[in-house]
Structure 1
Amino acid sequence: MTESRSPPSGCAMFGIYSSMFRRRRSASMSAMTRVNGDHPAAADAESSPAALKAPQVNLAHRKAAAVHEDSSLVRRPSGAVARAALPASERSRMTTNKPATNGGAGGRANNKPATTAAEYTGMAAELDKMILDHQKVKGTTQFVRATSGNMMLHRNLGNLNSGGGNAAASSARSSVERGNANKAAAAASNNNSSGYAYSGMGNIVSNNKDATRKNGGGELCRALSHRTDPEKLKEMGNEEYRQGHYAEAVALYDQAIIMDARRPAYWSNKAAALAALGRLIEAVDDCKEAVRIDPAYDRAHNRLGGLYLRLGEADKAIHHFKQSPKESTGTDVSRAQSVKTRIAKCNDARKLRNWITVLQESQAAVTDGADCAPQVMALQAEALLRLQRHDEADAVFNGPSAPRFGVDESTKLFGTIGHAYVLIIRAQVDMAAGRFEDAVSAAQTACQLDPSNREVANVHRRANVAAAARLRGNDLFKAAKFAEACAAYAEGLEREPGNAVLLCNRAACHAKLGRYEKAVEDCSSALVVRPAYSKARLRRADCNVKLERWEASLRDYQVLIQELPENEDVKKALSEVEAKLKSQRNGAAADRFQH
């Protein structure tokens, strides 16, 4: 497009936009309106702030508005496509236009048409394609095309404004220049109430912190800076992966897949990043897609075999290891064979109720590589429960390194029966730890998955009875009906013998009724299965004080002061017990001296 006056620079444009267009629009913007098919006088009508907030829509899109009027994404067709979308009269006018006179006002007064429309290609076309791909894959219509070089929300033209403070600076962080540039962006975001992370034209900063995280605002900015080349995105993702930024790597691989989903390396690399985040089942799906695209892709087969091994699917792991002779070794296949053998031994020992063997073989399977296998975890936790090691069983499912999978994805991978078994063991672990509501929920889901299984139905009944007994006992205890509360807890213990929480609660009832011996017995039984149960130890120590068993009470308080070093009540009780014990010993020594 030829203008007698040169268009303003980017900085000048930003100044114009940030002052809410107090000065009239430049000749280049008027010419842009003319290319879109509007009469030049329309620029004057749109110079008000209210009109400037709306995105510029060309004639072809006005014509199609009845079909897609709710979409916030506006795309301009390029070249011949743009001309073909216009009516015949418009196409004729676009091809017969003459140069405009100098100056916006003069041009409008003479009513001379603009020059021939330029081809709509280059970065602008790439921006449109990327917005459409992002909308299609991420399910958002948040981005709107405003000019040939910028994206906008329904807010400030030229930049995507951020209201998210530090999150905006984080989203716009460049993977190439972190360091000082990132600090400067964060400072700008904190100090600028308008929320701009970068003041240059064409930067993308999300207006919503959650949308930035979920929909990939940060990787879009970096993608645009490299002209949306998928290979460049893959390289950036690899760099993020090497630096341990796995979530960012996943986002970058996702963008590469959006642009070219036929490259198996993108899917395989994304699977590696997902696995590093602990999202193993998602990683399996992506590896399977890579293998589907290229059945001879050795690295994807090897990676898929490793994932299946970690999940305890030994047969599938062996299959994929054998499909990748260049990447896999004989050791990989041997480990998978070992895991398969050990799981079979666990199942045989479980039928015989040989819990020591179940525990040993399940722990060995974890060592061989099945460290995230739900079935192996369930076998190990069940053996620990039966061996009265409830705290250790709880750590298997709820420790910091324990994997967590959703019901749907686990059922899809392991089957309904396999996942139902995992759920009933989890329900029993929850009951042992006092999480009765969680236990009931897990057992109920297991019943839905495997309704004909008697073992599952039995665990469901036990969980319901124990939860109801604990709830009824708590209500009676609060009402100071200690004898009735004691009977309620006892009813729960009939269904769930050895439950530390019910034992400790019944001990509290015994203590209120002055039955300190029975309270000590119940607390001791609770501590057998859960040695780290501080409430039961504290209650036993207090009951021993009432019975003037100073040495036994001292031992419990010494353990408690290690577990609860900041607890002032424990410190005070320990001092009192030490004084009582010292006085008792001094009295005994005096008696011996007199005799």
Structure 2
Amino acid sequence: MEDDEKKPSGCCLVLLYNSCFRRHPVPVSPINPIPPPISSNGKIYKSNAQLPIPNQPSAALVSPNHTKSHIAGQSKLTIAAPVSRPQIVSISSELDSLIYDHQRAKGSSTLLRASSGNVMLFGNLGNLRSHGAVAAPNRNLPEYLPKTAKEMKPARRAAEAETPTAIRPALSRRLDAEELKEIGNEEYNKGRYAEAIAIYDRAILIDPDKASYWNNKAAALIGLGRLLDAVEECREAIRIDPYYFRAHQRLANLYIRLGEAERAAKHYKLAKNEASYDDISRAKAVEILIGKCREAKSLRDWNILLKESQSAISAGVDSSPQIFAYQAEAFLMLFKMDDAEESMLDAPEFDTDASTKFFGAPSNAYYLSVRAQVDMAVGKFENAVSQAQMAARIHPGSREITAIARKARSIASARLMGNNLFKACKFVEACLAYGNGLNHDPQNAVLLCNRAACRSKLGQWQKAIEDCNVALNLRPKYSKARLRRADCNAKLEQWEASIEDYNVLVLEMSGDETVSKALQEAKEHLKRQSAACIKVAESGSEALNVTNKD
């Protein structure tokens, strides 16, 4: 007890700081009031507004020694008389003095009172301001102070209301890591993967060196389709326990799905008894298929590329962006645009940065460039430009990808110009604008259909039908082109062709009254036309009989 009484107090440090560095009166604190500050000439300041301004010359602001005073942007030496010190009332008052000293010296207010025994820089108070936030110039201090337990209760109740009822006990009770793992397993078996992940995370916080927790979390991430995240969890489990065979097997299965056959074969071997000979054989077969895909692409043999990419997907490579890009590119080059779109819809969607890190820049850039081409083919021009430019940024050294980005910008610009001219009823100019876009991409069904609309407005119905024919050969399910062709055939009184298109549209656009009405009108016109033809034929036959009698 005697040693404790002899220990120096923090108050001494505060007083030492004040005696060495403070050179001006202490302002009245709104937090801890103290007696009004007194100047060197004995004047009492009744309010903060009467205090000397920091950037103005004043005897109360200048050191008794030779110091630099910045006045109107210039530096000069000033000698001032000593300043009398006001009486220190308490530690709290002295802290207010230190804050004021800092603000006057730095010309800012970056110091805040954190407590009666603390002075901290505002930027270092991590719990008072979130990272990257910009505080308002006039801060309301209570808004930045940590909330008390009483204040936090409503927020905690709201958070609990959002927490699934099944996992709330696991997150509220003090369970050990193994108990949490068992609860997580139950949630996983019920297909509640997000809840399972939350519980596995809690177990990992308690015992981060247990490999099974990481491996189980990977399984739940797979259930949510977050395969790249699952890979990282498996790697962590293996780092903790290199002989954890089940983690090796799960990681190998992930690598198969992602098209990393060589890595899969390696981890199947490390999985020992958890993997079979068939698993290793499958990894080798997938590696051969992917090699054939690369060879077919380099030879531009699109039929072989389509066949081998589909075989790879059937063999279990169901989450490789590159394999789906191979398949989609093959469809594009074979002018099967709808199939290319479906292929990209089936492809996995990963975060761009994570995908680039995992698969490499060239591979991910290739996938994005194919996606851009498919978007162009189906009329998603803004998306196409975005994807192509992203691919060019990821892999700037590729001339092919740079050309695709340039092409996407040109086609999108031509389409936008054509649309604006069409809305202004300048159909000739709009037709030319769409034609300029087709110069960059002659097989673009959307531009062909748009030009057909212009030609229809100009009365060039046969030319419009020709554009629609090309568009429908590229995209048989392109309803807008079929509708336009049906309308143009009706204007040319080619009722049979018009009815054929309307019959298809009724199935594709079930419930559309406009299409049903147009179909009915076409049938009536065809009926009248047929009746007229029969009447003409009968008249011709009677005339022929009269001639024969004569």
TM-score, scaled relative to structure 1: 0.66
- Aligned-partner residue type, residue 310 of structure 2: Q
The answer to whether the Cα contact below 8 Å between 1:426 and 1:442 also exists between their aligned partners in 2 is: yes
Report the equivalent of 1:271.
Answer: 218
Does 2:410 match 1:465?
yes
The answer to whether the Cα contact below 8 Å between 1:271 and 1:286 also exists between their aligned partners in 2 is: yes
- Note the C-alpha offset of 1:223: 2.2
- Note the C-alpha offset of 1:62: 6.7
With a CA cutoff of 8 Å and minimum separation of 6, indicate the structure with the bigger relative contact order. Answer: 1
Cα 1:573/1:281, change in 2 over 3 Å = same
- Note the C-alpha offset of 1:535: 0.7
Report the equivalent of 1:379.
Answer: 326
Report the equivalent of 1:514.
Answer: 459
Does 2:545 match 1:549?
no
Alignment of 1:369-448 (within 5 A): 369-399=316-346, 402-448=347-393
Alpha-carbon separation, structure 2, partners of 1:553 and 1:376: 41
User: Residue deviations 1:339-389, cap 9 Å, x none?
Assistant: 111111111111222111000000000011100101101100000000111
Alpha-carbon separation, structure 2, partners of 1:556 and 1:143: 69
Alpha-carbon separation, structure 2, partners of 1:326 and 1:498: 54
Report the equivalent of 2:69.
Answer: none
- Note the C-alpha offset of 1:593: 4.3
Of 165, 168, 172, which residue of structure 2 is paired with 1:173?
A: 165
Does 2:223 match 1:223?
no
Alpha-carbon RMSD? 2.3
- Aligned-partner residue type, residue 172 of structure 2: L
Report the equivalent of 1:289.
Answer: 236
The answer to whether the Cα contact below 8 Å between 2:449 and 2:467 also exists between their aligned partners in 1 is: yes
Report the equivalent of 2:204.
Answer: 257
The answer to whether the Cα contact below 8 Å between 1:321 and 1:328 also exists between their aligned partners in 2 is: yes
Does 2:424 match 1:479?
yes
Alpha-carbon separation, structure 1, partners of 2:146 and 2:335: 58
Report the equivalent of 2:276.
Answer: 329
Alpha-carbon separation, structure 2, partners of 1:529 and 1:70: 59
Alpha-carbon separation, structure 2, partners of 1:362 and 1:277: 25
- Note the C-alpha offset of 1:322: 0.8
User: Residue deviations 1:290-349, cap 9 Å, x none?
Assistant: 111101100100000010110001111111111101211111112211111111111111
The answer to whether the Cα contact below 8 Å between 2:164 and 2:195 also exists between their aligned partners in 1 is: no
Alpha-carbon separation, structure 2, partners of 1:71 and 1:475: 53
Report the equivalent of 1:154.
Answer: 152
Moved more, 293-302 or 447-456: 447-456
- Note the C-alpha offset of 1:143: 9.8
The answer to whether the Cα contact below 8 Å between 1:142 and 1:153 also exists between their aligned partners in 2 is: no
Cα 1:474/1:308, change in 2 over 3 Å = same
Report the equivalent of 2:294.
Answer: 347
- Note the C-alpha offset of 1:142: 12
Alpha-carbon separation, structure 2, partners of 1:63 and 1:322: 61
- Note the C-alpha offset of 1:591: 3.7
Cα 1:499/1:332, change in 2 over 3 Å = same
The answer to whether the Cα contact below 8 Å between 2:193 and 2:221 also exists between their aligned partners in 1 is: yes
Alpha-carbon separation, structure 2, partners of 1:409 and 1:63: 46
The answer to whether the Cα contact below 8 Å between 2:127 and 2:146 also exists between their aligned partners in 1 is: no
Does 2:509 match 1:564?
yes
Cα 1:555/1:456, change in 2 over 3 Å = same
The answer to whether the Cα contact below 8 Å between 1:310 and 1:371 also exists between their aligned partners in 2 is: yes
Unaligned runs of 5+ in 2: 1-114, 130-143, 542-550
- Aligned-partner residue type, residue 152 of structure 2: H
Alpha-carbon separation, structure 2, partners of 1:417 and 1:451: 9
Report the equivalent of 1:528.
Answer: 473
Report the equivalent of 2:183.
Answer: 236
Alpha-carbon separation, structure 2, partners of 1:541 and 1:332: 54
Larger radius of gyration: 2
Residue 222 of structure 1 aligns to a residue whose secondary structure is helix
The answer to whether the Cα contact below 8 Å between 1:526 and 1:536 also exists between their aligned partners in 2 is: yes
Cα 1:453/1:305, change in 2 over 3 Å = same
Report the equivalent of 2:256.
Answer: 309
- Note the C-alpha offset of 1:420: 1.1
The answer to whether the Cα contact below 8 Å between 1:153 and 1:160 also exists between their aligned partners in 2 is: no
Cα 1:590/1:429, change in 2 over 3 Å = same
The answer to whether the Cα contact below 8 Å between 1:538 and 1:556 also exists between their aligned partners in 2 is: yes
The answer to whether the Cα contact below 8 Å between 1:223 and 1:229 also exists between their aligned partners in 2 is: no
Alpha-carbon separation, structure 2, partners of 1:142 and 1:382: 57
Alpha-carbon separation, structure 2, partners of 1:381 and 1:142: 55
- Aligned-partner residue type, residue 277 of structure 2: G
- Aligned-partner residue type, residue 527 of structure 1: L
Alpha-carbon separation, structure 2, partners of 1:172 and 1:587: 73
- Note the C-alpha offset of 1:232: 1.4
The answer to whether the Cα contact below 8 Å between 1:382 and 1:425 also exists between their aligned partners in 2 is: yes
- Note the C-alpha offset of 1:66: 5.4
Alpha-carbon separation, structure 1, partners of 2:283 and 2:242: 21
- Aligned-partner residue type, residue 219 of structure 2: A
Alpha-carbon separation, structure 2, partners of 1:308 and 1:265: 19
- Note the C-alpha offset of 1:447: 1.3
- Note the C-alpha offset of 1:228: 3.0
- Aligned-partner residue type, residue 496 of structure 2: E
The answer to whether the Cα contact below 8 Å between 2:428 and 2:454 also exists between their aligned partners in 1 is: yes
What count of residue pairs does the alignment treat as equivalent? 411
Cα 1:553/1:309, change in 2 over 3 Å = same
TM-score, scaled relative to structure 2: 0.71
Unaligned runs of 5+ in 1: 1-60, 74-140, 147-151, 176-217
Report the equivalent of 1:182.
Answer: none
Moved more, 441-450 or 310-319: 441-450
Report the equivalent of 1:452.
Answer: 397
Report the equivalent of 1:71.
Answer: 127
The answer to whether the Cα contact below 8 Å between 1:267 and 1:289 also exists between their aligned partners in 2 is: yes
